[in-house]
Amino acid sequence: MPLAAPVVSPRTYHHGNLRAELLERAEQTLATDGVDALSLRALARDIGVSHAAPARHFRDRQALLDALAIDGFQRLNRAMQSAARDDAALRDRFERVGAAYVEFATTHAALLGLMYAHKHAEGAPEELVEAGHGSLAVAVDLVVEGQAAGQVREGDPLRLAQLAFATVHGLAALAAGDLLEGAPLDEMVALAADGLWRALRA
Amino acid sequence: MPLAAPVVSPRTYHHGNLRAELLERAEQTLATDGVDALSLRALARDIGVSHAAPARHFRDRQALLDALAIDGFQRLNRAMQSAARDDAALRDRFERVGAAYVEFATTHAALLGLMYAHKHAEGAPEELVEAGHGSLAVAVDLVVEGQAAGQVREGDPLRLAQLAFATVHGLAALAAGDLLEGAPLDEMVALAADGLWRALRA
DNA sequence: CATCATTGTTGTCAACGCCTACATTCGGCT
DNA sequence: AGCCGAATGTAGGCGTTGACAACAATGATG
């Protein structure tokens, strides 16, 4: 009798939302226990489906990781774009974008690590590398705008943006690696923004 | 008769150098196949010992990873120190140290990733965090020297050094993540050194 | 209502990390 | 020399995992 369906868990044969729930739980465990703790079987167990069910939505473990990374980049990009749309002075918008990046990086440290895992470099889905380039694009746009306004010095905007991006990303990496030795993160962001502005201004 | 030592494979019951050979092969596979491909059993098989033999030298997989990371930091630190001891102008020594870092980071990308894996953050062996701080110390010394010579602006040398370190590390991360879009790495290093010098000079 | 792609289940396999018990070798001590 | 304990390697087993294949339930479409 397939109809029983006990009160507590009326769950039908088809879960109906497995993919989304897998991603959600996966990000939780990623945040609390790290990448290595991510296991398709454990996720299935937590959610209450059979151990092979996740395979219908993620061909293999790597596919799940890729999906998490893509989602992470999309959220990061939205945060940076939103910070860039601020209407303050250009120099401050630089700082706010950097702050948004660092904020994301520190509150989602494990996720950011996953996003940049070189693993994705070879054979990575197009969507992922695309999303990854999106963050950089925000910085490029800002540099271009600054150059048009005569506030940023001349030079290939891509490279100047890469420099800025590298600085902020490195700062986030230091914070994640606990190499900041207690330096307040926002002060470091301000210091970096100051340094960058000295390096980039016309 | 322990003396025989036939030409082909005289291997005695005791390997005699297992720990060192494990580390060596481990770094090879790390470089060619990535961290996830590292398996104690596979290493044992490659070397030709039983699958449990490595356990005598590395309590668990993580211990092997830690040992690799420590060794990596020590080599990186030596490279940076050697670059810092150069007798060129201070600004150029900054650039050379940065170049040394980036050079190491790109030729040992997977190893560098391992070194910074947050995994090591909690419960990491003292030796590892110590080695990790060594790289930063090189930058601090350089800043202190620059301040003493009146060439670097005032401010907490640790934080200024962290800024420089972050920039270079971020650059290396971009290169590893293939986000440089063909920009020649040495030009990017030069650009970063230039920017940093503008940010740091008195 | 029949059909069929989608989604989930069950069972299986090989590989791995880790543990325990045992074997061999080495080095120091008498 | 000879003994003995420590260090090192071996053999086997347990539980977990990722991946695969065969099968069952579901729901959409005609």
Could you identify the residue written with the tokens 């044992």?
B44
**Residue among B109, B133, B170 whose CB faces A118 most closely:** B109
Exposure string of A125-157, with b = 16+ CB inside 10 Å and e = fewer, is eeebbebbebbbebbbebbeebbeeeebeeeeb
- Whether B40 sits with its Cβ under 7 A from any strand C atom: the answer reads yes
At what angle are helices B90-107 and B109-116 packed, to 10 degrees? 100
Q: Kindly report, residue by residue over A164-177, the tens digit of the pLDDT.
A: 999 999 999 999 88
The amino acid at residue A107 is T
Query: What is the distance in angstroms between the Cα of A16 and the nearest Cα belonging to chain B?
Result: 33
- Whether A76 sits with its Cβ under 7 A from any strand D atom: the answer reads no
Paired tokens of A195: 């340094």
Query: What is the distance in angstroms between the Cα of B15 and the nearest Cα belonging to chain A?
Result: 32
The DSSP symbol for B54 reads G
Q: How confident is the model at residue B59 (pLDDT cuts 50, 70, 90)?
A: very high
pLDDT of B88 above 80: yes
Q: How far apart are CA B103 and CA B107, in angstroms?
A: 6
Residues paired with B152 in a beta bridge: B201
CB of A200 within 8 A of CB of A153?
A: yes
pLDDT of B8 above 50: no
In DSSP notation, A69-117 reads: HHHHHHHHHHHHHHHHT--S-HHHHHHHHHHHHHHHHHHTHHHHHHHH-
pLDDT of A9 above 60: no
Exposure string of A101-115, with b = 16+ CB inside 10 Å and e = fewer, is bbbbbeebbbbbbbb
Closest by CA to A51, choosing from A42, A63, A61, is A42
Q: Residue A201 — left, alpha, or beta (φ > 0 → left; ψ -120 to 50 → alpha)?
A: beta
Best of A77, A129, A162 to disrupt the B interface (most B CBs within 10 Å) is A162
Residues 42-61 of B with CB under 7 A from strand D: 44, 49-53, 55-57
Length A199 CA → D23 C1' (Å): 65
Closest by CA to B136, choosing from A154, A183, A17, is A183
pLDDT of B119 above 70: no
Collect all residues of chain B within an 8 Å Cβ-Cβ radius of residue A163: 167, 171, 188, 191-192, 195
Size of interface A-B (CB pairs under 8 A): 128
The pLDDT of residue B120 is: 66
CB pair distance less than 8 Å for A173 and B173? yes
Q: Kindly report, residue by residue over A73-132, the tens digit of the pLDDT.
A: 999 999 999 999 988 999 999 999 999 999 999 999 999 999 998 766 678 899 999 999
Nearest nt to the CA of B53 via C1' is D9
Residues paired with B61 in a beta bridge: none
CB pair distance less than 8 Å for B167 and A170? yes
Q: How confident is the model at residue B135 (pLDDT cuts 50, 70, 90)?
A: very high
What is the largest distance, in Å, between two alpha-carbon atoms of chain A?
77
CB pair distance less than 8 Å for B177 and A34? no
- Whether B52 sits with its Cβ under 7 A from any strand C atom: the answer reads yes
Paired tokens of B88: 């060129």
Higher per-residue confidence, B119 vs A96: A96
Paired tokens of A104: 């994301």
In DSSP notation, B62-96 reads: HHHHHHHHHHHHHHHHHHHHHHHT--S-HHHHHHH
Cα A187 to chain centroid, rounded:
22
The pLDDT of residue A11 is: 62
The pLDDT of residue B67 is: 97
**Residue among B159, B192, B200 whose CB faces A166 most closely:** B192
Mean pLDDT confidence for A49-55: 97
